Structure formats: C-alpha cells, structure tokens
Structure 1
C-alpha cells in the first residue's frame, strides 16, 4: 500500500501491477483518503474510516473525473459527517435528491434482499455497471440521454445485449421504487423512455444422441464422484442446475413417482414426474448414502450441497468434445428429446414448469421438423408424378 502525496499528475500515471486485483495509493495530506486502482483500469477516490467500532469505506467518486483537490474536499466533508455521528454517504445530498450510489446501496439493495432470491445479480450489476457510470449523479438530475450514453458506452465495449438490458431493467425498477417511496428530487422515471435492445435468444445448442453418449462417458470418468448422477438427473428431468443441487430426499414421493421442487424460478413449488431411469438412479444413490443425509447430491468433501460443480463439469464437457455446452443446455436437450419423440409443446411446458407457453415456443421449430418428416411419409404413399 504505497503512501505518498497525491497529485493530478501522479494519479494520471497510476496503474495496477500485473497479477493484482487492485492496489491502493494513500494520500499523505488527507488521512484516510486513497486512490483504489483496479486491474480493469478503473480508479476511484475512497476514504477509510471507523464508525461504531467497525472499519468502513466510502467511495468519493471516479478518479478519472475528480481532481485530487476535489477529492480532498469531499473527503473532508464526509469525515466531518462521521465525527458528528452521521452517515458520510449522505454527506453531500444535492437538491436533486440522493445520489445513484446512495439510493441503490442504502435503499434499493436492502429492500430487494428482503424478498428477491436473485438479489446477488442486482448487486453485481450495480457494482460493475451502474455505479461506475452514474454513481455520483443525483437521482433527480438524471435524464434519458444520460442513460442512453451509458447504453452506447456499453455497446462500444461489446457488452451483450442481455447485460445492457439488465442495467435498463434495474434502473427502471429503481426509479419506480423511488417514486413509490417519494424520494427527494425524483419526479419521473427517465429509464422508461429507453427500450430494451433486441436479444437473440434462439436456442441452438441441443445434444445429439452421440454427444449424449460421449458426455455421459466423460462424467462417469470424472474425479467428482457425484458429477455423473447430477448430470444424469438433469438430463432425465429437465431440472435447473440449482434445483438438482439442492434436492432433498424428503421431497421424493416414491409411491407417486414425483419429485417436489419447493423453490423454483417462479417462486412456486412444482412436481416433476420421475421416469423409471430417474427412479433407478435415485434408488442407487439412496442405497449408498448415509441414513441421516437430507441432501440427495452431497459434496463428499463438505457433507453439504454443492456450491458449484463448474470445474469438474468443464473438464468433462471438453473431454466429450462439447466445450461450449452449458449445464442449462441439458434442460434444452431434455425438451428436444421430448419434442423429437412426438410429445406436444403443452407437455413440454408442464414438465419444464414454464408459466407461459411463449417460453416453451422456442422449441416449436423442432416440432415443425417432425411435421415435415410426417408429410414425407404421406408423399411416399401417394406418388403424384407418374
């Protein structure tokens, strides 16, 4: 942690050393002030202080936009707030209301954490995209062109349309909450003026029978002894990865041949029919599992559900010759197996637990291929050309 007198000239030359995630350069003139230089090239002025017996950090702003003198002024104001027993994040509340950073970190995140299972995704988007671009702006000062510039900047850096759309959705929802909570300075929702970018969500990746065989061979050879049954369960049920990793024995109804998934993406429990293959798989696991074990797929190292199986999965898919295959593609493959076997989209919808048939319609082209094969059968029996 280098300590030296910060200057605009010095800050312009700072860089993060190779192999480091970030490096802090502390100022000798303002105690607690430092520049945090990240490996991705971003720099931020921050202050470190103690409050309530705990070490805390407050971001003052982008070091590429603020001068050192401005950073010291902000640090001085914030530290005075700390001495007075206040919150430095509210030290400079402008007439246009709280800053984007203050609103999303102090109000939005605590709220969504109370009910949203995927709040971690929101936190990542806020930290990586929203705060670097707009964090210092007041909520009430933002206008649609400001957000449009963020979108264009992300597009120029080749971010996926889906990532950009998540930023837009998060901004829209944040401003909706700000209006509902009558946040100072917020009189409208500037994000509503911008449309989401078009995304190419067409699913093209399905396992062929040959690829399925190679994949199953690879997972059975994995050093992770639980990888093979996990992948087999996903292929046999079309479940999502987290649903399988969190599966419990108490949710298996052997008599009715059903697996109850208490927590799904929609927030509602659903029941998955278990085929004879899935039941055989579960019986073998039951025979070898400890009697007191609640989790079906136990991590042998921890005795708990797996947090991640990426590394063993990544090794297996490469060995199987399908390095681009995602675990979620096993769910798509399950659907394709059903459609190619002549099952209706309605049946696929029910088995996958889709609330809207439009989600299942992505597999409609597979059904059309089967219809073309069907009409060829008729053509073979009705030659019209002598």
Structure 2
C-alpha cells in the first residue's frame, strides 16, 4: 500500500509490480479512496470504510473508464450516504449537500491562493487534519462537538497546541467565508465559540554575545560560502529567512541606508533601516558578487542555479552544532535581533517597527528582557 497525491496522469501510469498479485494506491484528498491495480492490468477505484465497527470496501468503477474526479465525486456521495444512514437525525447529509471537503478544496483554497502567501500551510492543514475527520460531512451538519472531538483526537496524538490552534483559526475563517457566501443550509459557525487551547510551550532562544562569536566562527568555516553572509545579515536586520533569501540588490537604497522588502508576511512593503555593520557587510558582498556572480541581482544566489536558495538547512545545522548551539533555529536570529535592541534600551515600539509586527502584542514577548536589564541596573545601588 502507498499513499500519493493522485492525478489522472499518475493513475494511468500505474503498473503492478511483477512479484505482486495486486497493490493499492491511496488518495491523499479523500480518506479511504484508492486505486486497486491488478497484475492483469485491470484497475479499479475502490472505497474503504468502516460500518458498525467492521471494515468494508466497495468498488466505484473501472479506472480505465471513469476519471479520478468522477471517482472522488462518487466517493464523497457514498461516504455522505453512509454517514446519513448511521445518523438519521442529520437530515442535511443528503447527497446534494456541500461537504466540508468540497468547500475547503474547491472553494476555500482557490480563494485564499489569490492573496495569501502561506496558502500552502492551509492546504497541508486541511489535507492532514480537517479532511480525515470532517471531510465527508456536510458543511451545514458539522457541530461544535464534532470539532471538539477533533481537537481532543489531535491532543491525544501529541500535536502541538500551536498546530491545533491554527486548525481552529482556519475552521473559524472557513466557516465565516461560507456564511458570507451563503452556503445552502448553513446558519451558524460551529467553530466560533470554541476556545483555543492554552499554549504555554512557546520556545524562544536568544544568542548570548559568546554564542554569537562562536556561531560566526562556525559559519565562516561552512562548506556553503553564502552562509557566512546570510547569518550576519539576518542578525543585523531581524529579517525572516525567506525575506533574506529572496532579497535583491535593486531593493538596497545605499543613499537612504535602507532595504525594501516587497513581499512580507503581512503582504505590505516594509523598509528596513540598515546599520553601519549591515552596510559594511553588503559592501563586501557586492564586491564579491561582481567577481563571482556577474549579472545576478540576488544578494544570496545559489551558485549552482543562480536562483534563490530553496533551503540552507544542512549547512545551517552543521554550523549551529559546531558553535555549540544545536537547538538554535534560524528564526531565533530574529529573536536575537530583538533582544539585542531591548537590552540596549530601545523601546518595544521601536522593536515592533523594525520587525514589522502588525500587533504590539506580538512584540510584547520581549518585554521580560527589558525587565531583566532594569533589574540588573538597580543592583548598582548598594548602601553598605
């Protein structure tokens, strides 16, 4: 058995391994839907489900004759019928009712893709958490207890509170859109009154001056020569990793000592002031780029492709271990930027502006750093 993102092209190319009589390839979109590929070459779409505690399956059609979309539509209809027969009080679960899967896959995702840069995170959340639990239900049939059971199931599987809360936020927003778009039969938002679970496990790390020295020494020895520029750039600017990896020379304003970030998490253009240290770093990089990467407009081009790095995880992981900080995340460099500012006496408002936070509450996590600094300051008062 294997589970893949099925497409029409993938299905038509499936071949049964010679040592097997048949094998099953499950769909990622609809739980229980799979293609049964036989040694003879025959293929059928089938649906596996559980009824009265017994695992069963049904054949939906020949995979050479019906399309994947038709198989998915048939699977949705059969699952709704099965659920309706097991819960006759839910009259809204007829075959014509819009299911949770149909709404979030066919309506919600196409909409958020038009404006939301992080739509991929939503897609993953929908596929991995919402559809397996609620996908076959009609939108109008979902009740708060259904979502509460999903939350409890995720807690029992040790999912992080942040993951569960993001799922709740997505459901609330999805149902808000569904109400706005007047989905038939829908009258209330079942996720509206469910509270987020308490999240006390926020991990925030800050570089000490000693750790900063050790980290810089490690990145200078990295097999990825770009890392020795990327890491200090992140510390100097407090930028997010993706913002830095996509940065271009055209967005550096040398006269105003400023860097324009055209695509931010909030979707707004942000201008980051560049310190003397950042400008000196960029000056060295520009001289190096003129010799090593002519024509490239990227600050940190991948030397093999000339495009932005997709990932720098392995070189980063090696460097942080060599520096003695194996748990340090790249995003912690952004936290360190903020901690350096707060401990130098800068206000939280200034930190908010420099980090590009839309809400001061996001920045307030650094308030304890200022209190620590003030506590240290009052220690100089001694009466003996």
- Counterpart check, 1:341 vs 2:331: no
CA distance in 1, matches of 2:54, 2:184: 25
Match of 2:285 in 1: 285
Please report the RMSD computed on the Cα atoms of aligned residues, expressed in angstroms: 3.3
Which ranges in structure 2 are unaligned for 5 or more consecutive residues?
6-13, 17-21, 38-43, 81-92
**Distance of aligned partners of 1:58 and 1:220 in 2 relative to their CA distance in 1, 3 Å threshold:** farther
Structure 1 partner of 2:89: none
2:248 match = 248
1:356-378 residue CA offsets vs partner (Å, 9 max, x unmatched): 2211111111111111122222x
2:19 aligned partner:
none
SS in 2 for 1:192: coil
Q: Tell me: CA distance 1:82–1:280, structure 2 relative to 1, closer, same or farther (3 Å).
A: same
> Against the structure 1 CA distance between its residues 169 and 286, is the aligned structure 2 distance closer, same or farther, given a 3 Å change threshold?
same
Q: SS at 1:196's partner residue?
A: coil
Change beyond 3 A, Cα 1:318–1:130: same
The alpha-carbon deviation at position 209 of structure 1 amounts to: 0.8
**Compared CA separation, residues 86 and 25, structure 1 to 2 (3 A):** closer
The separation in 2 between residues aligned to 1:299 and 1:58, in whole angstroms, is: 43
Does the CA-based 8 Å contact 2:301-2:308 persist in structure 1?
Answer: yes
Contact 1:46 1:60 in 2 (8 A): yes
> TM-score when scaled to structure 2?
0.81
Q: What residue is the counterpart of 1:221 in the other structure? A: 221
Counterpart for residue 132 of structure 1: 132
What is the match of residue 237 of structure 2? 237
SS of 1:305's partner is: coil
Question: When the two structures are aligned, how many residues end up with a matched partner?
Answer: 344
Instruction: State the distance in 1 between where 2:342 and 2:116 align.
Output: 33
Note if 1:36 corresponds to 2:39.
no
Q: Which moved more, 1:303-312 or 1:135-144?
A: 135-144
SS of corresponding position for 1:193: coil
Q: How many Å separate the matches in 1 of 2:165 and 2:357?
A: 22
Instruction: Identify unmatched segments of 5+ residues in structure 1.
Output: 1-14, 27-31, 50-56
| Structure 1 residue 318 corresponds to structure 2 residue 321 | yes
Counterpart CA distance in 2 for 1:169 and 1:62 is: 29
**Conserved? CA contact 2:48–2:56, under 8 Å:** no
Contact 1:340 1:366 in 2 (8 A): yes
1:159 corresponds in structure 2 to 159
Conserved? CA contact 2:235–2:336, under 8 Å: yes
> After superposition, what is the alpha-carbon deviation per residue over 1:250-270, rounded to whole angstroms, capped at 9, x for unaligned?
110001111111111111111
Query: 2:197 matched to 1:206?
Result: no
Q: Structure 1's 164 and 202: CA in aligned 2 closer, same or farther, altered over 3 A?
A: closer
Deviation at 1:110, TM superposition (A): 1.0
TM-score normalised by L of structure 1:
0.80
1:38-84 CA distances to partner (integer Å, 9 max, x unpaired)? 9xxx97232489xxxxxxx9895657978444x32xx14x989958x
Give the secondary-structure state (helix, strand or coil) at the position aligned to 1:147: helix
Please give the per-residue CA displacement for 1:288-343, whole angstroms capped at 9, x wherever unaligned.
21342111111111111111111111111111111111100000001111111122
- Summarize deviations over 1:61-116 as a string: whole Å, max 9, x none: 657978444x32xx14x989958x98554442743722222221111111111111
Aligned-partner SS, 2:192: helix
Residue in 1 that maps onto 2:33: 45
Where in structure 2 are the equivalents of 1:1-386 lying within 5 Å?
34=24, 36=26, 44-47=32-35, 60=47, 67-69=55-57, 71-72=58-59, 75-76=60-61, 82=66, 87-91=70-74, 92=77, 94-95=93-94, 97-200=97-200, 202-289=202-289, 290-377=293-380, 379-380=381-382, 383=383
C-alpha contact 1:89 1:102 (8 A) present in aligned 2: no
Mark the CA change 1:267 to 1:62 in structure 2 (over 3 Å): closer, same or farther.
Answer: farther
**Is the Cα contact below 8 Å between 1:34 and 1:45 reproduced in 2?**
no
Asked if 1 retains the 8 angstrom alpha-carbon contact of 2:31 and 2:132, the reply is no
Q: Contact (CA 8 Å) 2:317, 2:326: kept in 1 or not?
A: yes
